[in-house]
């Protein structure tokens, strides 16, 4: 009569655990974007702490060299920060506790970022002195780039937007209230409140 050796129970449990770990690792491998999807993408060139992208309904950790596609959401943790570069050499920084959509409008390449929460700093490259128009959207403001360097911060709960111009000029429009566009010059900033129209007292020279 043939004899069958009994597999020890601890061996079965160990094998099952190893299989589960292997499957978990496979499931955490982010899907690779195609060449078409990476057209107009942003590349992470430097980072610290926790920074990830929302892809296919899941958050995937990013590393130096990682690609963020159009309409994807960048998320940073309490210690997260990263610098991204786009094809024309322009860069944008995403600071901690932020949630930002890269090129949210598929058909409009000039709309660079949509900041839902947190802070970004944008540096636009101008080749040959030619305009390089880009826009940043928030829940309360639209920022049109004429200059080179500026930052945008959106506060939690109130969605108040603060725009600071460091170099060149930046045009700011209130998204929810009527009024003329405002132009910031270097060293100026403005706070855009959800339920308040433009007021002169909002315009204060930084420093």
Domains defined for the chain, CATH in brackets: 42-205 (2.60.120.1440)
* Dist. CA 38–CA 34, nearest whole Å: 6
Q: Say what the pLDDT of residue 200 is.
A: 47
Read off the pLDDT of residues 88-132 as tens digits, 9 standing for 90 and up: 889 999 999 999 999 998 776 688 999 999 999 999 886 655 556
* Dist. CA 45–CA 83, nearest whole Å: 6
Q: What integer is the mean pLDDT of 160-177?
A: 92
Q: What integer is the mean pLDDT of 166-175?
A: 92
Q: Say what the pLDDT of residue 97 is.
A: 98
pLDDT at 52 over 80: yes
Question: Which residue has better confidence, 170 or 35?
Answer: 170
Give me 70's structure tokens. 């159009």
DSSP string, 130-197: -----EEE-SSEEEEESSSEEEEEE-TTT--EEEEEEES-EEEEESSS----EEE-TTEEEEE-TT--
Q: Which helix (H) or strand (E) holds 119?
A: strand 111-123
Q: Say what the pLDDT of residue 180 is.
A: 80
pLDDT at 206 over 70: no
Q: For the chain, give the percent of residues with pLDDT over 90.
A: 56
Q: Which helix (H) or strand (E) holds 23?
A: helix 9-27
Q: For the chain, give the percent of residues with pLDDT over 70.
A: 71
Q: Say what the pLDDT of residue 134 is.
A: 86
Give me 122's structure tokens. 């944008």
Q: What integer is the mean pLDDT of 176-200?
A: 84
pLDDT bracket for residue 39 (50, 70, 90): low
* Dist. CA 104–CA 119, nearest whole Å: 17
* Dist. CA 159–CA 114, nearest whole Å: 13
Q: Say what the pLDDT of residue 199 is.
A: 59
Query: Exposed, middle or buried, 127 (CB in 10 Å: 0-12/13-18/19+)?
Result: exposed
Q: What is the pTM of this model?
A: 0.77
Residue in the block written with tokens 């390089």: 132
Q: What integer is the mean pLDDT of 143-152?
A: 88
Rounded to an integer, what is the distance from CA 68 to the centroid of its chain?
9
Question: Which residue has better confidence, 38 or 18?
Answer: 38
């Amino acid at each position: 009569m043939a004899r069958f050796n009994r597999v020890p129970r601890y061996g079965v449990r160990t094998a099952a655990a190893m299989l589960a770990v292997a499957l978990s690792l496979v499931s955490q491998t982010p899907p690779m974007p195609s060449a078409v999807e990476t057209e107009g993408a942003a590349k992470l060139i430097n980072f610290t702490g926790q920074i990830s992208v929302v892809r296919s309904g899941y958050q995937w950790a990013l590393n130096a060299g990682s690609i963020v596609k159009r309409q994807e959401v960048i998320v940073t943790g309490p210690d997260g920060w990263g610098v991204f570069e786009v094809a024309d050499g322009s860069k944008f920084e995403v600071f901690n506790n932020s949630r930002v959509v890269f090129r949210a409008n598929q058909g409009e390449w000039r709309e660079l970022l949509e900041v839902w929460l947190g802070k970004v700093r944008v540096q636009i490259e101008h080749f040959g002195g030619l305009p390089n128009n880009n826009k940043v959207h928030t829940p309360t403001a639209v920022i049109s780039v004429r200059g080179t360097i500026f930052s945008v911060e959106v506060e939690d709960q109130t969605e108040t937007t603060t725009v600071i111009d460091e170099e060149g000029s930046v045009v700011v429009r209130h998204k929810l209230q009527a009024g003329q566009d405002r132009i910031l010059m270097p060293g100026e900033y403005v706070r855009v409140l959800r339920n308040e129209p433009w007021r002169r007292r909002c315009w204060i020279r930084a420093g």
